[in-house]
Chain A
């Protein structure tokens, strides 16, 4: 079974530029998550989709971050404009159903450096 795919793996941009990350979850998984992991910290949930609907985006900085999951399969996360403090690893995860009490399967992450 193929795992969660993410691209790009690394990205370096200057502040105020825009960047987009892509995620393809495990086939058949209904729930998709985007996390931000700052160096030395645990992952922090940014947004959670159930199929193509948003379940939780309470910690997404909506003035600069946006995400979509058209057709309920793959997803993109965008930052516009980027700030220095957005430097982090952006992890995508998926799970079969959602609802919390199940394993999340993580992709390798996209490491973003904002200069």
Chain B
């Protein structure tokens, strides 16, 4: 869907705590989802992906959960570190060529 402008949703966590970033996607036909991390002055960087035939996928310190019933995606980061501070985007794809990015969530990690 359309983004909301300059004021990104923000999540502030203490170093060492777990972070959960949420995303609502728009198209019930979407069958592939990706989380990207974007640090200041850089392009988005792939973190983890999940296909619609799964409801959970784990990577190194990250877990993605998919709830197709309510069209909701979440990214969990374990033991959050200062280097995790960035803007996180979820993206969806319907199997066609176009990937649609969400508006993003800014994660601040307090030392």
Contact = CB atoms under 8 A, between A and B. Distances in A.
A32 interface: no
A33 B57 CA distance: 27
Contacts of B99: 45, 100, 104
A99 B45 CA distance: 19
B95 to A, nearest CB: 6
A57 to B, nearest CB: 11
Contacts of A98: 97
A68 B43 CA distance: 21
Given A103-B34, A107-B43, A109-B43, A41 B97 contact: no
B35 to A, nearest CB: 11
Contacts of A39: 6
Interface size bracket, A side: 20 to 34
B87 to A, nearest CB: 9
Contact of B43 (A48, A103, A108): A108
SS class of chain B's interface: helix, strand, loop or mixed? loop
B51 interface: yes
A45 B98 contact: yes
Given A100-B93, A101-B93, A106 B44 contact: yes
Contacts, number: 68
Interface in A5-62: 39-45, 48, 50, 55-56
B102 to A, nearest CB: 5
SS class of chain A's interface: helix, strand, loop or mixed? loop
A91 interface: yes
A103 B98 contact: no
A103 B43 CA distance: 13
Contacts of B83: none
Interface in B21-49: 31-32, 34, 41-46, 49
Nearest to B43: A106
A93 interface: yes
Interface of A: 4, 39-45, 48, 50, 55-56, 91, 93, 98-101, 103-109
Interface of B: 3, 5-8, 31-32, 34, 41-46, 49, 51, 89, 91, 93-104
